[in-house]
Structure 1
Amino acid sequence: MKDDPADADALRLAQLGHAQSFERQFSRWTMLGLSFAILNSWTALAASLSLALPSGGPIAVIWGLVTAGICNFSLAASLAEMLSAFPTAGGQYHWAYMLSPPSIKRGVAWVTGWINMSGWIALVATNSALASTLIVNMVTLLNPTYEYHRWHQFLIYLAVTCTSFAVNAFMQRLLPQVNGVALAWSIAGFVIISITVLACAAPDYATGEYVFATWINETGWPDGIAFLLGLLQGGLGLTGFDAVAHMIEEIPDAAIEGPKIMLYCQYIGISTGFIFLIVVLFVSGGLSNAETVISSPSGPLLQIFYIATNNRAGAVCLLVFPLICFIFAGISVLTTASRMTFAFARDGGLPMSATWWKVHKTLGVPLNALLLDCFVVLIFGFIYLGSTVAFNAIIAASVTALGVSYGIPVFFNLLSLRRKLPERHFKLPGLVGWAANIIGLVYTIITTVLFVFPPFLPVTGTTMNYCIVAFAIIILISGIQWIVDGRKNFEGPRITIDESAHRGSLAE
């Protein structure tokens, strides 16, 4: 029994201070399905064309993805090392605690945990918002006389969120299968849409010069800053790769398989996203249609599908693939967010922590954490009812918050000259490790600063980037909670199990 891999995983978790709370029911492929369902890079990149097209045009779309891809892969490799060394659901805040100087490690872990948890909850809202936007875009294209009201989209937003909650709360044992289907659906959609639009648009393709070498800058910023602002599209399409870290207590051979999954999902995301964006730009009609695509009330992606197929119903049918991808993503993001909330509460990082890290005995899920996350997402929805600009700040804050949570443990790993990580199954060799850490950290710093810039000049109330306000609110709430509770009760990753007792139970 001592040689049982499940026992080895449970013992490793016990060495890190925690009992096994969940079944390790995910395989490598179903966890890869969950991780890639969250990235859904080709879908997210295509759905967010409006971020990069006016901020650099096709050059920013294609080469911005290459830039973001190299940097995000470097970040993923940097975090994969830490995941192999400390495979717990806490992820970044646990790693930051282990790698930072003793005098500040409690505060560093606290801030990292709050930022990371907030980013994941905001990402749930982002997926529900993107899915609801695609549905509204379908209605707008099929019915040009449709009069849009914000509450219409709010109701769709609620329906998508409730669907994600229901699957997570009551279909826990089916989650691996759901994520396997999500991976298959995403790859199938990528192939089917690519072939269909290329066939329908032939031979009226855009030129290679347009796709790879055309610059468009409608932001008012200098060209260099405009290009960097366009990296937000690549950042959105490749963020969330830490999902496997927060789900790591639910897969076997965690220290070995976790890092592989983290890198595999980045590789699949970058390669499919790069190919799909090239296809989309080739069938978009080129420079003559660029302004129509950018300003389309149906959204850039659906407008391109319509240009390629010249058929409204056909374009809407193609958009069903990304729509279902976002619904799958919403399920997976909520799964991950609830595990992050569970882990942070387990370590005493939240008000009434004992409530939020309970695992429901019958359902086998952290039900209270799920309810808490969905309640916050509902609050975000009410913000959307009041102001689209404010809600867009939440979406931008999700990308920024996750990026900051990636950069903090990488910074402290470099500060310790990469010497604090213990022996691990996945290890970046010498100079490769240094290069990955430095590239990832520099990218995080640059994008964190630039992603809070207004996307357009001159700045008005509607073009202002309120991401900095949303991010400041996260820090403010975290600071208040630290003063009220954290400084007295938060000690970093807690010891919730006696390792020696656990060893004894395995030996019996």
Structure 2
Amino acid sequence: MKPVESGHHDDEAQLQALGHKSELQRNFSLLSMLGLAFAILNSWTALSSSLGLALPSGGSTSVLWGLLTAGVCNLALAASLAEFLSAYPTAGGQYHWVAVITPKRWVPLASWITGWINVSGWIALTTSGGLLASQLISGLIALYHPEFALKAWQVWLIYVAWTLIAFVINAFLNDLLPYVNRAAFIWSIGGFAIVCIVVLSCASPNYASADFVFTEFINETGWPDGIAWLLGLLQGGFGLTGYDAVAHMIEEIPNASVEGPKIMIYCVCIGTITGFIFLMVLLFVSGGNAEAIISAGPGPLIQILYTATSSRAGATCLLMFPLICILFAETAIMTTSSRMTYAFARDGGVPFSKFFAKVHPRLGQPLNSLMLSAGLTILFGLILIGSSSAFNALISASVVALGVSYAIPVAINVCRGRKMLGPRPFVLPGPLGWAANLLGIAYTIVTTVLFLFPPELPVSSSNMNYCVVAFGIILFISTFQWFVDGRKNFTGPRSDTGLEVLEGMKSQEQDDAESRHLKVAGEELGLHMVK
């Protein structure tokens, strides 16, 4: 028990050194936190449920090779962020890291911008669970009743119900969240295996050709082929985004600076591998007709499951695995979103910061921040009623915002020669570190521009990518808040004195190690003399 207690005290001291008091319980083990991170990515579920993003924008080449492209680039970004997480394990994540490595004159503004982008990205990502669930449930209804079409407000009500379920789980079952996340990890991996085995066995031997699976190119967007394929990267980017969840939950993990970086990298690797395998299986059992899949009333995933099993009941049963995975994901994303908002409010970064930085004494979590996250998620969902491309807009907003928040600290560190991070357990070797940083930054720049494009041409008011509008609103609110309050009162996270304390802690650890070594050596010498 002593080593565990010692590690716990080290975590508390390290957090205090970064300027914060530990208020959250460290009850997430390595497996439960890996479960949370993987539940948020839930790559095979997110990728299969969003096939409609990539199939019209490049066909199967965009679905598979676009995922691998996004996987390599996101792994580079995750490894880059893992260095920051190892050095400064605080729930503030990116905006805290930016404050540590930015010249003092620009700390408040740089930290403010990063924090707002990250908070906005997580709230946008919180919409994804309700979006995917409402699409799948609508598709299931269309499978049994092709003549019946849900109205937009009915789809929104499904979206709201899904969001409220996730809120209730987060609000009142906080102590059970580690077990929920372990269950999510087991359910997701188990569901992945079961669905793959069942559809392959049911479809045998009528598989699509390898040419269709690996080389089929389709462009139904109206954009030039190259642009269309790059727009299809949105599916892969969406399926792999959200790995900074580990950072925002890091204050609830024992031995944070060692375990956190491992989890961040593991979840991207697992997500890319399982996603690639699952998408490849789906394409093989799809029947080989991409146009029919894209235009199917129930949606691409349900249509492929129905084609593979030749049974509506079979397709429905298999759909339960991704549908429940989406509920797990929505719960985990809302957990992380509330923790990010809480961390930023703790440093005075949002309006009414004192209110949103409160931790509920009985529930042991930032309930006010949780309510804010759920409330804004429901409001953002209203876009479903007015736009046919609402799904693309909200997914684009989350992927772009989170990607930019990942790239900002990495870019600043690169501009300052990769010399701004202190001693840490996880270090990328020199050339590998530079390569990972530069690849991640380049990927973010390209996707940030492209994912703001409308998904198809010609552009109309109904298919416009309202991601641009969402960013405009966020920019206006954050700018207004900066001039009203932030410019005067926001100084960034409390990190200056913390860095000195952290250095002292590391020196003390080295001194303790040396003294233990001398003590052991002395005891051995004494025993030798007695003999």
TM-score (norm 2): 0.92
| Mapping 1:379-394, distance limit 5 Å | 379-390=379-390, 392-394=392-394
Q: Residues 389 and 230 (structure 1 numbering): CA distance in 2 closer, same or farther, change over 3 Å? A: closer
- Other-structure match for 1:275: 277
* Counterpart secondary structure, 2:218: coil
CA contact 1:19–1:496 (8 Å) conserved in 2 = no
The corresponding residue for 2:22 is 20
* Per-residue CA distance 1:225-283 (angstroms, 9 max, x = gap): 11111100000000001000000000000000000000010111000001001100000
After superposition, what is the alpha-carbon deviation per residue over 1:302-324, rounded to whole angstroms, capped at 9, x for unaligned?
00111111111111111111100
> Does the residue aligned with 1:205 lie in a helix, a strand or coil?
coil
Query: Which residue number in structure 2 is paired with residue 233 of structure 1?
Result: 235
Once the two structures are TM-superposed, the CA of residue 395 in structure 1 deviates from its matched residue by: 2.7
Match of 1:140 in 2: 142
Confirm or deny: 8 A CA contact 1:18 1:495 kept in the other structure: no
Which residue in the other structure is 2:107 paired with?
105
Instruction: Check conservation: 1:380, 1:391, Cα contact below 8 A.
Output: no
Give the equivalent residue in structure 1 for 2:76. 74
Question: 8 Å contact 1:93–1:112 — kept in the other structure?
Answer: yes
Secondary structure at 1:103 match in 2: helix
Give the residue type in structure 1 aligned to 2:356.
W
Partner amino acid, structure 1, of 2:355: T
Distance 1:449 1:458, change over 3 A: same
Larger mean Cα displacement after TM superposition, 156-165 or 383-392: 383-392
**2:265 is matched with which residue: 260, 263, 266?**
263
Q: Which of residues 87, 90, 108 in structure 1 aligns to 2:89?
A: 87
Task: Map 1:115-130 to 2 at 5 A.
Answer: 115-130=117-132
**Superposed CA RMSD:** 1.7
Distance 1:11 1:138 in 2: 52
Q: Distance in 2 between matches of 1:227 and 1:154?
A: 30
Q: Any conservation in 1 of the 2:85–2:247 contact (CA below 8 Å)?
A: yes
Structure 1 match to 2:515: none
Q: How many residues are matched?
A: 499
Residue in structure 2 matched with residue 506 of structure 1 by the alignment: none
CA distance in 1, matches of 2:96, 2:492: 7
Moved more, 233-242 or 157-166: 157-166
The answer for the alignment partner of 1:402 in structure 2 is: 402
Return the alpha-carbon distance in structure 2 between the equivalents of residues 55 and 223 of structure 1.
Answer: 8
What CA distance in whole angstroms lies between the structure 2 residues aligned with 1:464 and 1:369?
31
Partners of 1:8 and 1:249 lie apart in 2 by 12
SS in 1 for 2:148: coil
| Alignment partner, residue 374 of structure 1 | 374
Post-superposition, which runs of at least 4 consecutive aligned residues in structure 1 deviate over 4 A?
495-500
Distance 1:471 1:388 in 2: 19
> CA shift at 1:394, angstroms?
2.5
Q: Which one-letter code corresponds to 2:191 in the other structure?
A: G
> Residue 496 of structure 1: CA displacement?
12
Instruction: Please tell me whether the aligned partners of residues 51 and 232 of structure 1 are also in contact (alpha carbons under 8 angstroms).
Output: yes
3-state DSSP class of the match of 1:104? helix
Taking a change above 3 Å as real, the CA distance of residues 496 and 384 of structure 1, as seen in their structure-2 partners, is: farther
Contact 1:74 1:436 in 2 (8 A): yes
Shift, 1:390, TM fit: 4.7
Three-state SS of the structure 2 residue aligned to 1:4 is helix
Partner letter of residue 265 of structure 1?
Answer: C
2:436 pairs with 1:413:
no
Residue 516 of structure 2: aligned partner: none
- The secondary structure found in structure 2 opposite 1:116 is helix
Q: Look up the SS of the partner of 1:453 in the other structure.
A: coil
Structure 1 stretch 201-210 or stretch 154-163: which is displaced more? 154-163
Q: What corresponds to 1:31 in structure 2?
A: 33
> What amino acid sits opposite 2:318 in the alignment?
L
**1:247 paired residue number:** 249
**Counterpart Cα distance in 2 of 1:124 and 1:320:** 20
* One-letter identity of the residue aligned with 1:164: A
Which residue is equivalent to 2:510? none
What's the CA shift string for 1:87-139, capped at 9, x where partnerless?
A: 00000111111122222221111011001001101111121111121111111
Which one-letter code corresponds to 2:487 in the other structure? R
Give the conservation status (yes or no) of the 8 Å contact 2:129–2:327: yes
CA contact (8 A) 1:94 1:109 kept: yes
Cα distance in 1 for residues equivalent to 2:442 and 2:179: 38
Cα offset, 1:415, TM superposition: 0.6
- Contact 2:238/2:395 (<8 A) preserved: no
The letter for the 2-side match of 1:170 is F
> Which structure 1 segments of 5+ residues have no match?
504-508
Q: Is the 8 A contact 1:82 1:95 kept in 2?
A: yes
2:219 corresponds in structure 1 to: 217
- Bigger Rg, structure 1 or 2: 2
Identical-pair percentage: 59
Check conservation: 1:142, 1:313, Cα contact below 8 A.
Answer: no
Alignment of 1:291-440 (within 5 A): 291-390=291-390, 392-440=392-440
Letter in 1 for 2:302: L
- State the 1:80 CA deviation: 0.4
Name the aligned partner's letter for residue 438 of structure 2: I
Contact 1:49 1:61 in 2 (8 A): yes
